[in-house]
């Protein structure tokens, strides 16, 4: 399934808590959106999300979206940490436009090219790629999804599974055109936070 089809499927989930059909999630895997896929049941694709930090602190997602985390992923939760009204103002959205995000883990075997970019970035800091996610930040207008421009930037957090305070954690951002960038992060109590930008990008979690 290509990304355009994914957008149509995910747009439906904004008004649904659970569906009873299979969902195939496309992954960024090259200079263009590829046919590499991660398959999940829609029951696993949640329309709400949160990060529970060690000690019980909960960070709730504030943006409408669809979220899917594979059981094998090194992530325990995902959350956008800014209200839709703030994003609407930043992006200059109209009253009938609603910010929307889809975020889902990607598999090394099915997304080999983007993982190659993650690994190359990890090598520059002497680290190891733990895993990765795709995030597509856009808007819904009458149920139709379109991407926001890359200039829109919002705070995002992930819980780190098996967090080790002795390690240093990084995030590398990979765009569909192949551009790669190590982005600033903060890590506190097992939660890594960074800025995501409009449109589709892969974000790799690295540890050293």
- CA–CA distance from 147 to each of 31, 49, 70, 101, 203 (Å)? 17, 21, 24, 9, 17
Q: Which of 9-23, 95-109, 144-158, 163-177 has the lowest mean pLDDT?
A: 9-23
Burial of 66 (0-12, 13-18, 19+ CB in 10 A): buried
- 193 pLDDT more than 80: yes
Distance between start and end Cα atoms, the chain? 34
Q: What does the alpha-carbon distance between residue 110 and residue 200 come to, in Å, rounded to a whole number?
A: 17
Strand order of the β-sheet with 75-80 is 75-80, 153-160, 191-197, 186-188
Distance CA 205, CA 131 (A): 6
- Residue count of the chain: 208
State pLDDT tens for residues 105-118: 999 998 999 999 99
CB atoms within 10 A of CB 32: 11
Q: What are phi and psi of 114, to 5 degrees?
A: -70, -35
CA angle, residues 163, 44, 122, in degrees to nearest 5:
35
Read off the pLDDT band of 164 (50, 70, 90): very high
Q: What percent of the chain has pLDDT over 70?
A: 76
Query: What percentage of the chain exceeds 90 in pLDDT?
Result: 60
**What mean pLDDT do residues 33-50 have?**
48
């Amino acid at each position: 399934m290509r990304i355009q089809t994914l957008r149509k499927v995910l747009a439906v989930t904004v008004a649904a808590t659970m569906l009873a059909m299979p969902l195939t999630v496309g992954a960024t895997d090259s200079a263009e959106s590829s046919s590499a896929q991660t398959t999940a049941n829609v029951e696993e694709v949640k329309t709400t999300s949160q990060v529970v930090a060690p000690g019980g602190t909960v960070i709730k997602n504030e943006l409408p979206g669809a979220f899917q985390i594979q059981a094998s992923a090194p992530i325990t939760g995902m959350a956008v940490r800014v209200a839709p009204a703030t994003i609407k103002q930043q992006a200059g959205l109209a009253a009938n436009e609603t910010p929307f995000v889809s975020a889902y883990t990607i598999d090394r075997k099915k997304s080999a090219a983007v993982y190659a970019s993650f690994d190359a970035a990890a090598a520059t800091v002497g680290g190891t790629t733990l895993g990765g996610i795709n995030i597509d930040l856009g808007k819904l207008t009458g149920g139709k999804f379109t991407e926001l421009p890359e200039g829109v930037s919002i705070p995002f957090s992930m819980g780190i599974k098996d967090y080790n305070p002795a390690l240093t954690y990084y995030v590398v951002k990979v765009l569909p055109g192949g551009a790669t960038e190590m982005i600033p992060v903060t890590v506190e109590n097992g939660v890594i936070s960074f800025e995501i930008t409009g449109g589709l990008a892969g974000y790799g979690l690295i540890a050293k």
